[in-house]
């Protein structure tokens, strides 16, 4: 049950360099910009969710995924992002190939991880 019937998700990402992060989220990931002001840049994440990109000079990234997308074709998305300079991470995982694509043992889930310019860990996931 939603907090309120018209609720939608808001994700928050911090950056030490807003202009650099805007280039990544707007140009590389091609998220549509909804608004821009002195406090944040707001992007449409799809599905009614929004991303709020805010400056934080003391931001330090973490080793866990902070933002991700469920997508219909992970290989095509990875290929498109690679042409824009995105590098996918390869972890010491049994089910992950050298291309960065991880597959669940039953093959129903595929995922890939990459970082934004501030080191925030982002993911792509395809199910089914």
Residue 25 lies in a domain: yes
The secondary structure element, H or E, covering residue 80 is: helix 74-83
93 is in which domain, residue-wise?
10-127
What predicted TM-score, i.e. pTM, was given to this entire model? 0.89
Report yes or no on 5 lying in a domain.
no
Number of folded domains that form the chain: 1
- Give 119's DSSP letter: -
Beta strands in the chain (DSSP E): 10-15, 33-36, 41-46, 49-55, 65-70, 102-103, 109-115, 121-127
Q: Which residues contact 21 (CB under 8 A, 6 or more apart)?
A: 13, 15, 41, 53, 116, 117, 118
Look at residue 26 and tell me if it is in a domain: yes
- Do the domain assignments include residue 4? no
DSSP, collapsed to helix, strand or coil, labels residue 77 as: helix
Q: What is the CATH number of the domain that holds 96?
A: 3.10.180.10
pLDDT of residue 63: 87
- Helices (H), strands (E): how many in the chain? 2, 8
Sites in the chain below the pLDDT cut of 70? 1-3, 5
Q: Is position 2 within any domain?
A: no
Q: Does residue 3 lie within any of the structural domains?
A: no
């Amino acid at each position: 049950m939603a907090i309120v019937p018209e609720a939608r998700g808001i994700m928050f990402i911090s950056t030490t360099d807003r202009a650099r992060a805007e280039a990544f989220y707007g140009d590389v990931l091609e998220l549509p910009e909804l608004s821009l002001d002195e406090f944040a840049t707001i992007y449409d994440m799809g599905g009614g969710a929004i991303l709020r990109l805010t400056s934080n000079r003391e931001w330090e990234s973490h080793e866990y995924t902070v933002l991700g997308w469920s997508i219909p074709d992970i290989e095509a998305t990875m290929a498109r992002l690679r042409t824009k300079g995105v590098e996918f991470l390869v972890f010491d995982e049994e089910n992950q190939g050298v291309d960065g694509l991880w597959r669940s043992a039953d093959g129903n889930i595929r995922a890939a991880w990459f970082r934004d310019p501030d080191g925030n860990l982002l993911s792509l996931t395809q199910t089914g």
